[in-house]
Amino acid sequence: MKNRRFTKIVAIVLAFLMLFSIILIAIDAVTASARVTRAEIDRLREEKREYEKRKREIQSRINTIEFEKMTEIAKKQVLDDRIMLTGLEIDNINETIDHYITLIIEKELEVVQAQGREDDQLSLYKTRVRDMEENGVITYLEIIFGSTSFTDLLARLDFVGDIMQADEKTYNNLIIAKQETTAAKEALEVAKQEMEEEKALKEEKQEELEMQLQEANELITRINATLDTETALYAEVSAEEERVQREINKKVEELRRQEEAARLAARASTPRIKGTGQLMWPVPSNGSVSSGYGIRLHPVFKVMRQHTGIDIGGSHGAAVVASDSGTVITSAYNSSYGNYVVISHGNGITTLYAHLSSRSVSEGSSVSKGQTIGLIGSTGISTGPHLHFEVSVNGSRINPLSYL
C-alpha cells in the first residue's frame, strides 16, 4: 500500500514538473519570437530608409533642367521608377504592420504574465503583513528571550535574521513584479502607437502613389500632342516590341539547347520546370479583357496596329501570376513594355507579362503555375493600370485566349 502511495505521489510530482517545464518553454518561445519580430521591424525600417533615399535621388533628377530636355519616353521611365519605389514602400509598410500585429499579441501576453506574477507577490506580501499585524513585534522578542543558553540565543538570533531577510525579499519581489508589469504595459502601448503611425504613413503613401500615377498618365496623354512626336514614338515602340520578341526567341532556343545538352549528358544540375500546356488566367482577381488580340486603334498613338496580346484590367498593385510552370527567361524594364517578365514553359510556348508596377522573379528562376511573379501597374507606354499578356508558340505570337 505504501509503495503504491509513494509511486502515485512521485507520478504527480513528475507530472507537475513536466507541466511547469512546458510553461517555461512556451514563455521562452514567446520572448524569443518577440525579439525576432522587433528585429524584423528594424530591418524593414532600414529597407524603408533605402527606398526613401532612392526616391530623393529620382526626385532630384526630375527637378533638373536635364529632365525637361529628355524625350517623353525617357521621362516616363523616370516616373515609372519613382512609382515602383512608392509601391515598394507601401509593401514594406504592410509587412511592418503585420509584424506589429504579432508583436502586440506577444506584448499583451507579457502583460498578462507580468500581472499574474505581481498578483502572486502581492498576495504573499499581504499574507505576511497580516501575520505581523496579528502576532506583533513581540513575537521576535519572545523568540529571543525564550532562549535557554547563550548558544541557543545565537541560534535564535540567526532565525530572526532569516525571517527579516525573508520579509525584505518578499517586499522586494513585489516591487520588481510591479515594475515588470508597468514596463510590459508601456511596451504594449509603444507597439500600438508605432503601428498606428505606420497605418497613417501608409495612407500618405497611397495618396502619393495616386498623384504619381496621375502625373505619369498625363505624360502619356501629352505624348500624342503633335503628329511628328506621335509617329516617331510609334515607330520606336514598334521596333522595341519586335526587338523583345527576337530576344525571346533567341533565349528560348538557347534554353532548348541547354536542356538538350543536359539530357544527353544526364547530369543536369538544375532541372528545368516544364508547363502543362494548359494556361491559367494570369490575374487572380479575375480582371476582364479590356483590349483583345488583333488589329485595333492604339490608345496612345491613335493609329491602327496589330495588338500582339490581350490587355486585362486590374487595380494597381493587384497580383499577376504565372499562367503555367516554367523558367523565367526575362525579367527587365524597357520603354515600351515597362516592367515585364517572360516565362518559357517548354514545347515552344512562352508567355509575356507587361506594364508591371514591380517584378518578384528574376531571370533564370523556376516558377510554379499560379505563383506571383509581379504586380499590375502602368509602366512603359500604358494608359492606366492593366496587364498586357502575350502568348508565343514557336516564336510567333498568337491569340492568348486560344490557350486560356
pLDDT in tens, 8-52: 444 444 444 444 444 444 445 545 555 667 888 888 889 888 988
pTM over 0.85: no
Cell numbers describing residue 66? 536635364
Q: Which residues pair with 387 in a beta bridge?
A: 312
How far is residue 222's CA from residue 299's CA, in Å, rounded to a whole number? 12
Domain ranges of the chain: 2-223, 227-402
Q: Supply φ then ψ for residue 83, to 5 degrees.
A: -65, -40
Q: What is the pLDDT of residue 38?
A: 80
Nearest to 331 by CA among 359, 301, 307: 359
pLDDT beneath 50: ranges in the chain:
1-2, 5-27, 30, 138, 227-228, 267-271, 300-301
Rounded to 10 deg, the angle between the 150-223 and 227-265 helix axes is 120
Report yes or no: 342 and 293 within 8 Å, Cβ to Cβ: no
Q: What is the pLDDT of residue 273?
A: 66
Q: Determine whether domain 227-402 maps to CATH 2.70.70.10.
A: yes
How far is residue 305's CA from residue 307's CA, in Å, rounded to a whole number? 6
Angle of CA points 35, 90, 340, to nearest 5°: 120
Spell out the alpha helix ranges (H) of 63-71. Answer: 65-69
Q: What is the pLDDT of residue 377?
A: 92
Q: What is the pLDDT of residue 36?
A: 64
Q: What is the CA radius of gyration of the chain?
A: 35
How far is residue 171's CA from residue 189's CA, in Å, rounded to a whole number? 27
Per DSSP, the three-state class of 65 is: helix
CA distances from 105 to 24, 100, 188, 239 (A): 18, 9, 9, 56
Per DSSP, the three-state class of 75 is: helix
